[in-house]
Structure 1
Amino acid sequence: MTKFTRDPSIEAADGNGSNDGNDGNDGNGNDGNGSNDADRSVDRVLAGEESIHAAVTRFGSGSPSAQALQTDAHYESDRDGDQFDRDDRNALKRVGGLSTELDDVTEVEYRQLRIENVVLIGIYSQGMLRDAENSLRELSALAETAGAVVLDGLLQSRSHPDPSTYFGKGKARELKDVVAATGADTVIADTELAPSQRRALEDVVGVKVIDRTAVILDIFSQHATSREGKAQVELAQLEYLLPRLRGWGESMSRQAGGQVGGAGAGMGSRGPGETKIELDRRRIHTRMARLRKQIKGFAPAREAKRANRDRFDVPSVAIAGYTNAGKSSLLNRLTRAGVLVENSLFATLDATVRKSATADGRLFTLSDTVGFVRNLPHQLVEAFRSTLEEIGQSNVIVHVVDASHPDPGAQLSTVRDVIGELGARDIPEIVVFNKSDLADDDQRLVIRGLEPTGIFVSARSGEGIEELNARIAELLPAPEVEVTLLVPYDRGEVISRLHVQGRVLSTDYREEGTLVSALVHHARLAELSEFVTNP
Structure 2
Amino acid sequence: MIEKKDIELEKAVLIGVVTQDQDEEKSKEYLDELEFLTFTAGGEVVKRFTQKMAMPNPKTFIGTGKMEDVRQFVEANDIGTVIFDDELTPAQERNISKILECKILDRTNLILDIFAQRAQTSYARTQVELAQCEYLLPRLKGMWTHLERQKGGIGMRGPGETEIETDRRIVRDRISLLKDKIKTIDKQMSVQRGNRGQMVRVALVGYTNVGKSTLMNVISKSEVFAENKLFATLDTTVRKVVIGNLPFLMSDTVGFIRKLPTQLVESFKSTLDEVREADLLLHVVDISHTNFEEHIDSVNQILDEIDSKDKPTIMVFNKIDAYEAEPFDEEDLVEVRTKANYTIEEWKKTWMSRVGDNALFISALNKENMDEFRKRVYKEVREIHVTRFPYNHFLYPDVEDIE
Q: Could you say whether these structures have the same fold, taking a TM-score greater than 0.5 normalized by the shorter chain as the test?
A: yes
**Secondary structure, counterpart of 1:479 in structure 2:** helix
Specify the alignment match of 1:248 in structure 2: 145
More helix by share: 2
Does the 8 Å contact 2:11/2:45 carry over to 1?
A: yes
Structure 1 Cα separation of the partners of residues 66 and 322 of structure 2? 40
1:404 equivalenced with 2:288 (yes/no): yes
Structure 1 Cα separation of the partners of residues 97 and 29 of structure 2? 25
Specify the alignment match of 2:279 in structure 1: 395
Distance 1:364 1:503, change over 3 A: farther
Shift in Å, 1:296: 0.7
Aligned 1:345-384 pairs, distance under 5 A: 345-359=230-244, 361-384=245-268
**What is the RMSD of the two structures over their aligned residues, measured on CA atoms?**
2.5
Deviates more, 1:314-323 or 1:198-207: 198-207
Specify the alignment match of 2:131 in structure 1: 236
Task: Tell me which of 369, 373, 378 is aligned to 1:464.
Answer: 369
Structure 2 Cα separation of the partners of residues 185 and 466 of structure 1? 50
Task: Tell me which of 89, 111, 124 is aligned to 2:18.
Answer: 124
Specify the alignment match of 2:182 in structure 1: 295
The residue type equivalent to 2:14 in the other structure is L
**Secondary structure, counterpart of 1:387 in structure 2:** coil
The residue type equivalent to 1:216 in the other structure is I
Does the 8 Å contact 1:22/1:147 carry over to 2?
A: no
1:449 equivalenced with 2:351 (yes/no): yes
Show structure 1 runs of 5+ residues with no match. 1-18, 24-33, 36-115, 253-275, 484-497, 507-535
1:168 equivalenced with 2:63 (yes/no): yes
**Secondary structure, counterpart of 1:445 in structure 2:** coil
1:504 equivalenced with 2:401 (yes/no): no
Shift in Å, 1:207: 1.5
Does the 8 Å contact 2:201/2:249 carry over to 1?
A: yes
Distance 1:346 1:175, change over 3 A: same
Shift in Å, 1:205: 1.9
**Secondary structure, counterpart of 2:56 in structure 1:** coil
1:281 equivalenced with 2:137 (yes/no): no
Distance 1:161 1:478, change over 3 A: same
Aligned 1:149-298 pairs, distance under 5 A: 149-245=44-140, 246=142, 247-248=144-145, 279-298=166-185
Distance 1:402 1:293, change over 3 A: same
Does the 8 Å contact 1:117/1:149 carry over to 2?
A: yes
Structure 1 Cα separation of the partners of residues 63 and 353 of structure 2? 41
Specify the alignment match of 1:343 in structure 2: 228
Does the 8 Å contact 1:22/1:149 carry over to 2?
A: no
Q: Provide the aligned length of Structure 1 versus Structure 2.
A: 354
Distance 1:437 1:230, change over 3 A: same
Task: Tell me which of 200, 207, 217 is aligned to 1:332.
Answer: 217
Q: Which runs of at least 4 in structure 1 moved beyond 6 Å after TM superposition?
A: none
The share of aligned pairs that are identical, in percent, is 38
Aligned 1:135-154 pairs, distance under 5 A: 135-154=30-49
Distance 1:157 1:449, change over 3 A: farther
Shift in Å, 1:277: 8.1
Q: Which has the larger radius of gyration?
A: 1
Structure 2 Cα separation of the partners of residues 406 and 182 of structure 1? 33
Structure 1 Cα separation of the partners of residues 194 and 58 of structure 2? 50
Question: For 1:48-67, what per-residue CA distance to the aligned partner results, in whole angstroms no more than 9, with x for missing partners?
Answer: xxxxxxxxxxxxxxxxxxxx
The residue type equivalent to 2:218 in the other structure is R
Structure 2 Cα separation of the partners of residues 343 and 197 of structure 1? 33
TM-score by length of 1: 0.62
Shift in Å, 1:20: 3.7
Deviates more, 1:464-473 or 1:148-157: 464-473
TM-score by length of 2: 0.82
Does the 8 Å contact 2:246/2:396 carry over to 1?
A: no
**Secondary structure, counterpart of 1:118 in structure 2:** strand
Structure 1 Cα separation of the partners of residues 56 and 324 of structure 2? 38
Distance 1:141 1:358, change over 3 A: same
Does the 8 Å contact 1:395/1:427 carry over to 2?
A: yes
Does the 8 Å contact 2:276/2:307 carry over to 1?
A: yes
Structure 1 Cα separation of the partners of residues 166 and 278 of structure 2? 44
Structure 1 Cα separation of the partners of residues 100 and 173 of structure 2? 34
Distance 1:438 1:421, change over 3 A: same
Show structure 2 runs of 5+ residues with no match. 150-162, 334-346, 398-403
Question: For 1:490-529, what per-residue CA distance to the aligned partner results, in whole angstroms no more than 9, with x for missing partners?
Answer: xxxxxxxx6xxx54379xxxxxxxxxxxxxxxxxxxxxxx
Aligned 1:29-68 pairs, distance under 5 A: 34=8
Shift in Å, 1:242: 0.8
Does the 8 Å contact 1:242/1:284 carry over to 2?
A: yes
Pick 1 or 2: higher relative contact order, CA cutoff 8 A, min separation 6: 2
Shift in Å, 1:417: 0.8
Question: For 1:5-26, what per-residue CA distance to the aligned partner results, in whole angstroms no more than 9, with x for missing partners?
Answer: xxxxxxxxxxxxxx84874xxx
Shift in Å, 1:179: 1.5
Structure 2 Cα separation of the partners of residues 388 and 21 of structure 1? 39
1:416 equivalenced with 2:318 (yes/no): no
Shift in Å, 1:403: 1.8
Shift in Å, 1:342: 1.1
Question: For 1:361-402, what per-residue CA distance to the aligned partner results, in whole angstroms no more than 9, with x for missing partners?
Answer: 222111000011110101111111111111111011111111
Structure 2 Cα separation of the partners of residues 196 and 323 of structure 1? 31
